[in-house]
A = this chain, B = another copy of it.
Amino acid sequence: MKTIAFIGLGNMGTPMVKNLLTAGCTVQVFDINAQAAQALAVDGAVVAANLDEVVQGADTVITMLPAGEHVRAVYLGDHHGGVGLLNLVAADTFLIDSSTIDPDSARLVAAEADKKGLTFVDAPVSGGVAGAQAGTLTFIVGGSDQGFQQAQQVLKHVGKNIFHAGKAGDGQMAKICNNLMLGILMAGTCEALNLGIDNGLDPKVLSDIMLQSSGRNWALELYNPCPQVMPTAPASNQYQPGFMGKLMLKDLGLGADAALKSDSAIPMGSLARNLYAFHNARGHEALDFSSLFEFYKSK
């Protein structure tokens, strides 16, 4: 079995480590928050004190970090005097970054890894904390065919669907496109339901009709944003996440950033981002992203 160095032990990383341990892997863990690492000792993780220590003897590295600047810093060492992971790992170590970041950062790290003969893939994840705990995450992988096959051998222990989006950075880009679509779906679903309510329709009846018609979409199927329409949805549980509004704002921001760089027009996604910026700024950023319905519901 594999020996994995896992770096970044937040809400997502921690349950992923537990599933890797359950699958029989040896997992060495590190986080700048030492308590987060220590808490995994009881599950059998080997706690490391720093980047150097965590990769000793590891054949695989998985990182799960907040943003592109952290990923660049950890791999390239640009804020650590040049001693990043690429200089610390053994030859043939396989590198997986599961953070959700800008494609340019992913491509930069992949290119630098390649110069040193290392294989790196970007493998951003969706499915949320619940998916991480259940081991049913979706991974969208960017990298070579060989990198994708290697990634599958590891990620199968923590995820259910593993897609190959294309070359380095394409995993990030495909996730960005998907979440841009999701932000549009959610805003549109809130809007259609609210327009119906304002004009006398029952949101449950309207939802049922749209589900069987051309308005059908993921948000309406699994995540109805109107309270009491779907008992299991966050909307029927005070919008407890689920997927927080601030994460949706971050992902739509990654979409906007990508569009700036490619001179693309994304009017619908830009508008959805701005609606989330308005909504979150009213103190709702830690609620589920379906709480945007409350921003629409006004009477």
Contact = CB atoms under 8 A, between A and B. Distances in A.
Given A192-B177, A196-B174, A218-B217, A270 B268 contact: no
B173 A266 contact: no
B215 A185 contact: yes
A217 B221 CA distance: 9
Nearest to A173: B199
Interface stretch (A23-31, A79-87, A273-281): A273-281
A192 B181 contact: yes
Nearest to A275: B267
Given A215-B182, A216-B217, A166 B200 contact: yes
Interface residues of A, number: 84
Nearest to A194: B264
A180 interface: yes
Contact of A126 (B170, B189, B213, B249): B213
A274 B282 contact: no
Contacts of A188: 180-181, 184-185, 188, 268-269
17 contacts: A161-B212, A165-B205, A177-B206, A181-B217, A182-B215, A191-B265, A191-B266, A195-B255, A198-B264, A214-B218, A215-B218, A256-B256, A263-B277, A263-B281, A265-B277, A265-B298, A278-B295
